[in-house]
Structure 1
Amino acid sequence: MYQCYEALPFPAAGYGVERNWPANLKLELFCGPRHTQVKHMAFSGPLRIQRPFYPEGKPCHLYLLHPPGGLVSGDRLYIAVKAEPHSQSLLTTPSAGKVYRQDSAGVAQGQRVTLRLDQHAELEWLPQETIIYRGANAGLDLHIELAPQARFIGWELVCLGRPAGEHWFDAGSLSQRLQLWRDGRLLLNERLQLNAGDEAHLGRAGLNGHCVFGTLVAAGPGLDDELITRLRQALPDGFAVTERLGVLLVRFLGNDMTVCRAGMWQAWELIRPVVLRRPACFPRIWFT
């Protein structure tokens, strides 16, 4: 499998190396005799997992915890997950992620996630949304590597500013990348480089002035025209569904995270039984 990739840049700035507070979490998941278990965990800095939950039997539900609750300048989160053959896991977060205003030196902050799935592994990456505050200098990087028979469902949901409080994203930047590889072949490669008020932010070829956007990615069997039709009929305005090279994409663009979240949950409910052959089982933390 493809092992190396060019990560999003986190440039040195301001106070130099002293302005760098990394947190690392590495997980290895394996298929035990009764359910999927955490085989290995290594961490440094304020990044942990809660004990595994098993609300649906064999699949393991894991909650990723970042006690500070948000990223300030110099913060870098590195999350790496390896799913061994036949393991079944769902990873989520207990609350929205937050990227706060950069410091006076403009030092970047952000997160890199690497997910590697072995043969017949199943993994769901379903974090709650990320809020990019006015003035942030944010980098978000999601890198997915799939073996030929691995199955994956995941999403990234982003809100620029806090529109409910009329705190608009009128300053700051976001660099976001999403890559998906299958058996060493790059199937999806997207990059967003946005500065508040630029063409990518306000232009019709970009976000067209909207502040909420999200992408659900699914890779596995059953991604056929019937499923796509069902998704298009079920989802409200603001959503679009496409499929190419065996990768299904559900996208949202709008101004209301509640609508985005509800639609993504609805799409997941339709996709999961097809790709993973079991009904949706909502993590309890989403409702607390």
Structure 2
Amino acid sequence: MNSLNAPPTGWHAALTLGFARHDTRTVLATRRHHGPLVVQKSLHPEGPGICHAIVVHPPGGIAGGDALAIDIDVGNEAHALLTTPGATKWYKSQGRFGAQDITLTVHDGAKLDWLPLENIVFDHADVRQRITVRLGEGATVIGWDATLLGRQAAGEQWTQGDWRSNFELRDANDRLLWAEQAMLGAQDAQRSDGTGGAGLAGFPVFATLWAVGRACTRELAESLAEGLPFNDALRAGITCLPDNVLVLRVLGREVEAVRQLLISHWLTLRPIVHGVPGELPRIWAT
């Protein structure tokens, strides 16, 4: 967590998972954890070739001073799907920021579906998040990151705090394929009508889905763009970057609508990018 300059106090937790291909089966071969960050039993609901794992943070959220590190390694030709049982909550920071550092390494010919449920940023939360994706030769990945500013269910807006995130996508030679930074300050971005939105046209929910692989072409992006919404409740756009990288961006009024848009596009992209049918993780139905 040094790259995030993590605070010295609070919950510190780390989880390392390694997936390996054994004949026709993908298995969870490595599992190490420190502190309150664990994974439930690995599952194979789609058959032996795809291993599902659910990342669990028992405290239920990240407070000021907490520092979490998640390191996922998908070995050659393996296929892993990871999700969470609920949203990641970022609590009031009490003068200290919370931090999460996620590293996803997908080796030659491997596949990864990274599908955590959304972040919920509480009022007065100070957040630092970093996601680093490293891809081997012929690897494919579909992942997303979604954030809700303020607790909608409690009628709370995000009036004070900061959200800072860094994302990097690199190939097997450590060549940078795509990078971006986001720095959102609630107090500086409040609108005169009180709706907030942190410079996001007043929308409290924002998300990015990324897909990488040989099938991620400009033609695919153009075909998907035709059906994307652009209205007062939900807006989305898709871009094809160099090196076969698709980026879908979403703004929304309600987190459920954004989540369903991400899921529908993952289901569409999975057979195209990974070559396997889309099937919803069972945990989402509970």
**Alignment check: 8 A CA contact 1:235 1:266 kept:** no
Q: Give a deviation string over 1:121-179, Cα, whole Å, max 9, x none.
A: 11111000010100001111111011121111100000000134320000111111111
Q: Which residue of 1 aligns with 2:96?
A: 107
Whole-Å separation in 2 of the counterparts to 1:133 and 1:207: 17
Q: Please say if residues 123 and 159 of structure 2, whose CA atoms lie closer than 8 Å, have aligned partners that are also in contact.
A: yes
- After superposition, residues 157-196 of structure 1 pair within 5 angstroms as 157-183=146-172, 184-196=174-186
Partner in structure 1 of residue 106 of structure 2: 117
Cα distance change of structure 1 residues 6 and 47 upon mapping to structure 2, 3 Å threshold: closer
Distance (whole Å) between structure 2 residues aligned to residue 74 and residue 204 of structure 1 = 25
Q: How does 1:135-154 map to 2 (within 5 A)?
A: 135-154=124-143
2:258 to 257, 260, 264: 260
List per-residue Cα deviations over 1:174-221 (Å, max 9, x = no partner).
111111111321111111111113259999994123210000010002
* Equivalent of 1:234 in 218, 227, 231: 227
| Moved segments of 4+, more than 3 Å | 199-206
In 1: Cα distance, 2:225 partner to 2:79 partner: 28
TM-score (norm 2): 0.91
TM-score by length of 1: 0.90
Partner of 2:5: 9
Aligned with residue 68 of structure 1, among 43, 55, 59:
59
Whole-Å separation in 1 of the counterparts to 2:198 and 2:218:
27
1:40 is the counterpart of 2:30: yes
Q: Is the 8 A contact 1:153 1:217 kept in 2?
A: yes
Q: Determine the C-alpha separation between the residues in 2 that align with 1:55 and 1:89.
A: 12
Indicate the RMSD between aligned Cα atoms, in angstroms. Answer: 2.0
Deviations 1:14-62 (A, max 9, x none): xxx3x23210101111001242111111111011111111111110011
Separation in 2 of the partners of 1:163 and 1:67?
22
**Structure 1 CA distance for aligned equivalents of residues 24 and 87 of structure 2:** 32
Amino acid corresponding to residue 221 of structure 1 in structure 2: R
Structure 1: 5+ residue runs without aligned partners?
Answer: none
* 1:92 matched residue in structure 2: 83
1:198 aligns to what SS in structure 2? Answer: helix
Please point out which of 119, 144, 160 is paired with 1:130: 119
The yes-or-no answer on 1:220 pairing with 2:210 is no
Contact 2:55 2:84 in 1 (8 A): yes
Q: CA deviation at 1:270?
A: 1.2
Moved more, 160-169 or 44-53: 160-169
- AA aligned opposite 2:223: R
In structure 2, give the amino acid aligned to 1:211: P
- 1:240 match: secondary structure: strand
Contact 2:185–2:198 (Cα < 8 Å) also in 1: no
| 1:174 to 1:79, Cα distance in 2 relative to 1, 3 A | same
Query: What is the aligned partner in structure 1 of residue 10 from structure 2?
Result: 20
| 8 Å Cα contact 1:24/1:43 also seen in 2 | yes
Total equivalences in the alignment: 276
| Structure 2, gaps ≥5 residues long | none
- Tell me if structure 1 keeps the 8 A contact 2:87–2:117: yes
